[in-house]
């Protein structure tokens, strides 16, 4: 018996390497890489009070705030305020101190001497924390019940990380005061945010009990590497509807590499705001719960945000992929949807789907926004491809759209925008029939008919099987004979992003540089290998993956290698090392050991 692995990424985080942010997102200057042990040494033994080290255990029999700092045997009852720079506060047991309905947490950390407020692994916070702090890290705590977090002015450089937040009657959020009194530089990293009561009940009720929602006058917010599910609204909502419209009240939000599924509303919702970058998230199982949320999407935006970037996300098993509501007076000009993988997008069987309306749920539905750019995405097995019932302009370039089940591959409903829109270098494919395009007049055209009737708007499009590696199992990498390979050119959006933010996003949805060959490939994933070479581990003695002499090609496996490990063989990939392959065949009786801190990447995802 042989086991062939075509979908594998094994990543064990290593503690000794610099944090690498998702594509297009700048690394925060505080809040992720700082480690308590690099700044301060915990007292040992801790049998007397030590200045700068606070031990809090509210319900300990000896707890008293007469203890200036506290010890495990004689702890403080509450968190002091303000906590001076260079301090550590350990919180143990149940903490529900709330003299005015909440506990005001003030900490005066500095860049050189931050404050750490940490839990013990069994610390339970059950009342609201109102945070007014600087250079402060809050981690390893469990928040529940009324234990929400509100970060308000004059807070800056606050990190909420490595916490478990569940069954909270509220949200993580906060607000500034005015345009000159803003909350800024907030990091929400590696938390588990989930399980709010009633999240899937009473479909007629708009709970809006979001996981993360900041109010006005907040900027420079990083929401990274969190796990979110069963929230009573969005996982993250940015911005509000404002009259008059104002996209500067919420600006520079970075939402990256989170995993979110099964929330009451679409996991990511964007309203009036500017320079929001949504990158590398995995968003799935977004199914309609609220009656007023027709077509639950991975990302939804409305009210005209400015310079919204939706980059290299994976959205699947949902009612809709990316959706935009109406602008409703919003003034944002530009929105970008680049390099996303969107597949298995279908409404429920009892949903009254209207294929004649571009408002119906789709992989990408753009009622709002103004100048929309839908570039280099791979879309497969969906009710509808790219639909637009709105005005403005639509640049559709370099996408693969295959196997549409209910409506059209491309559907522009109103003729008023066709002169300002384009469809270039796309592959549109329908198994067993023609791809369909509706371009403003209701007539359904195939690719050839479209390019004949609209030669200025339609160029370089193909009606051809994109030849995914395994479309039935949503493996959207390209076979070496795919017509998508080298048939694309670089879109202007990549240089626009670099000019705006100084970051190069010329990578595909799997993180590989673009282009890989003579030209850009169509779709979200670059073809990596024109052919595969088999590289077999030789001999039965245990050995290290990076031992060149043990491989049949006399080289460590590379991205275009099919790796074979035969019976009786044992390979070790050690901590701090990296292994690479295109596909793997681990035969029965073989052992592949990947230690914590090692990374093994198999490209055929």
- Please check the confidence at residue 105 and state whether its pLDDT lies above 80: yes
Average pLDDT over residues 81-105: 97
CA-based angle 119:125:127, to the nearest 5?
150
- Please check the confidence at residue 278 and state whether its pLDDT lies above 60: yes
pLDDT of residue 295: 56
**Two tokens at 130?**
């109102």
Cα distance between residue 384 and residue 361, in whole Å = 7
Which stretch of 346-350, 387-391, 456-460, 536-540 has the lowest confidence by average pLDDT?
A: 536-540
pLDDT of residue 14: 37
| Domains in the chain: boundaries | 1-28+530-605, 333-528
Q: Note whether 305 and 282 are within 8 A (CB).
A: no
490 to 397, 486, 509, 522, 527: CA distances (angstroms): 10, 11, 15, 10, 15
pLDDT of residue 530: 63
- 558 burial type by CB count under 10 A (0-12 exposed, 13-18 middle, 19+ buried): middle
Which stretch of 289-293, 307-311, 338-342 has the lowest confidence by average pLDDT?
A: 289-293
- Please check the confidence at residue 2 and state whether its pLDDT lies above 60: no
Q: Which residues contact 99 (CB under 8 A, 6 or more apart)?
A: none
Cα distance between residue 230 and residue 285, in whole Å = 11
- Please check the confidence at residue 148 and state whether its pLDDT lies above 50: yes
Which stretch of 196-210, 336-350, 379-393 has the lowest confidence by average pLDDT?
A: 196-210
Mean pLDDT over the full length of the chain: 92
- 41 burial type by CB count under 10 A (0-12 exposed, 13-18 middle, 19+ buried): exposed
- Please check the confidence at residue 3 and state whether its pLDDT lies above 60: no
**Two tokens at 229?**
């599910």
Average pLDDT over residues 446-473: 95
Average pLDDT over residues 1-25: 56
- Please check the confidence at residue 581 and state whether its pLDDT lies above 90: no
Cα distance between residue 553 and residue 186, in whole Å = 49
Beta bridge partners of 311: 279, 338
- Please check the confidence at residue 271 and state whether its pLDDT lies above 80: yes
Tens of pLDDT, residue by residue over 524-538, are: 999 877 677 899 998
- Please check the confidence at residue 449 and state whether its pLDDT lies above 80: yes
Cα distance between residue 509 and residue 511, in whole Å = 6
Pairing of strands 102-108, 591-594: unpaired
Grade residue 467 by pLDDT with cuts at 50, 70 and 90: very high
Could you say which DSSP state residue 249 is in?
A: S
Which stretch of 43-47, 299-303, 449-453, 567-571 has the lowest confidence by average pLDDT?
A: 567-571
> In which region does residue 376 sit, left (phi positive, over 0), alpha (psi from -120 to 50) or beta (all else)?
left
pLDDT of residue 418: 93
CA neighbor of 393 nearest in space, from 364, 431, 366: 366
Cα distance between residue 6 and residue 583, in whole Å = 5
Q: Note whether 379 and 342 are within 8 A (CB).
A: yes
- Please check the confidence at residue 1 and state whether its pLDDT lies above 50: no
First to last CA, the chain: 22
Average pLDDT over residues 564-573: 91
Cα distance between residue 470 and residue 94, in whole Å = 51
Out of 240-249, 274-283, 533-542, the most confident range is 274-283
pLDDT of residue 604: 61
**Two tokens at 471?**
């479309």
Strands ordered across the beta sheet of 591-594: 543-544, 570-573, 591-594
Query: Percentage of the chain with pLDDT > 70?
Result: 95
Total number of residues shown for the chain: 605
More confident residue, 582 or 390: 390
Grade residue 507 by pLDDT with cuts at 50, 70 and 90: very high
**Integer Rg of the chain from CA:** 26
Cα distance between residue 274 and residue 262, in whole Å = 27
Phi, psi of 397 (to 5 degrees): -145, 135
pLDDT of residue 289: 81
Q: Which residues contact 489 (CB under 8 A, 6 or more apart)?
A: 398, 425, 519, 520
- Please check the confidence at residue 381 and state whether its pLDDT lies above 90: yes
Average pLDDT over residues 11-17: 43
Q: Where are the beta strands (DSSP E) in 109-217?
A: 115-119, 124-125, 128-139, 142-145, 149-152, 156-161, 164-168, 172-175, 183-189, 192-194, 212-214
pTM for this model (two decimals): 0.88
Q: Which residues contact 492 (CB under 8 A, 6 or more apart)?
A: none
Place of tokens 């309609």: 288
């Amino acid at each position: 018996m042989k086991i062939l692995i075509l979908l594998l990424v094994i990543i064990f985080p290593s503690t000794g390497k610099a944090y690498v942010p998702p594509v297009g997102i700048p690394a925060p200057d505080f809040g992720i890489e700082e480690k308590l042990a690099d700044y301060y040494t915990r007292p040992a033994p801790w049998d007397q009070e030590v200045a700068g080290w606070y031990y809090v255990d509210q319900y300990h029999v000896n707890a008293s705030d007469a203890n200036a700092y506290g010890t495990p045997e004689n702890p403080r009852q509450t968190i002091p305020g303000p906590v001076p720079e260079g301090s550590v506060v350990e919180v143990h047991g149940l903490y529900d101190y709330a003299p005015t309905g909440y506990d005001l947490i003030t900490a005066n950390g500095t860049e050189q001497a931050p404050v750490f407020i940490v839990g013990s692994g069994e610390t339970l916070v059950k009342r609201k924390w109102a945070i007014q702090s600087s250079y402060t890290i809050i981690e390893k705590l469990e928040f529940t019940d009324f234990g929400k977090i509100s970060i308000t002015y004059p807070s800056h450089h606050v990190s909420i990380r490595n916490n478990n937040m569940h069954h909270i009657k509220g949200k993580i959020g906060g607000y500034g005061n005015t345009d000159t009194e803003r909350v800024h530089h907030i990091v929400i990293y590696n938390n588990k945010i989930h399980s709010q009561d009633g999240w899937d009940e009473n479909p007629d009720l708009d709970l809006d009990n979001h996981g993360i929602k900041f109010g006005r006058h907040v900027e420079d917010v990083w929401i990274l590497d969190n796990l979110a599910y069963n929230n009573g609204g969005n996982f993250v909502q940015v911005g509000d509807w404002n009259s008059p419209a104002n996209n500067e009240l919420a600006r520079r939000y970075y939402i990256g590499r989170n995993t979110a599924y099964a929330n009451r509303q679409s996991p990511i919702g964007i309203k009036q705001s500017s320079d929001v970058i949504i990158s590398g998230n995995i968003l799935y199982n977004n199914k309609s719960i609220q009656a007023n949320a027709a077509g639950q999407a991975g990302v939804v935006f409305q009210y005209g945000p400015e310079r919204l970037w939706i980059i290299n996300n994976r959205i699947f098993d949902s009612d809709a992929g990316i959706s935009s509501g109406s602008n409703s007076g919003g003034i944002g000009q530009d929105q970008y949807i680049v390099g996303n993988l969107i597949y298995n997008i279908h409404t429920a069987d009892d949903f009254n789907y209207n294929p004649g309306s571009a408002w119906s749920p789709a992989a990408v539905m753009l009622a709002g926004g103004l100048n929309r750019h839908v570039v280099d995405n791979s879309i497969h097995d969906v009710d509808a491809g790219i639909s637009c019932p709105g005005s403005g302009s639509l640049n559709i370039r370099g996408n693969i759209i295959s196997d549409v089940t209910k409506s059209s591959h491309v559907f522009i409903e109103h003729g008023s925008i066709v002169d300002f829109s384009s469809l270039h270098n796309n592959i549109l494919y329908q198994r067993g029939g023609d791809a369909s395009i509706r371009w403003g007049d209701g007539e359904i055209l195939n690719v050839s008919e479209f390019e004949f009737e609209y030669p200025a708007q339609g160029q370089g499009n193909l009606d051809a099987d994109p030849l995914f590696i395994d479309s039935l199992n949503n493996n959207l990498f390209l076979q070496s004979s795919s017509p998508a390979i080298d048939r694309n050119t670089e879109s202007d959006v990549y240089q626009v992003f670099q000019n705006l933010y100084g970051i190069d996003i010329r990578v595909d949805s799997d993180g590989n540089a673009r282009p890989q060959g003579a030209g850009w490939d169509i779709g979200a994933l670059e073809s990596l290998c024109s052919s595969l070479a088999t590289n077999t581990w030789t001999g039965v003695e245990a050995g290290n993956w990076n031992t060149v002499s043990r491989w049949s090609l006399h080289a460590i496996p590379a991205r275009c290698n099919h790796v074979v490990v035969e019976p009786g063989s044992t390979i070790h990939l050690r901590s701090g090392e990296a292994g690479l392959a295109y596909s793997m065949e681990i035969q029965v009786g073989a052992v592949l050991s990947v230690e914590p801190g090692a990374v093994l990447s198999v490209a055929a995802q």
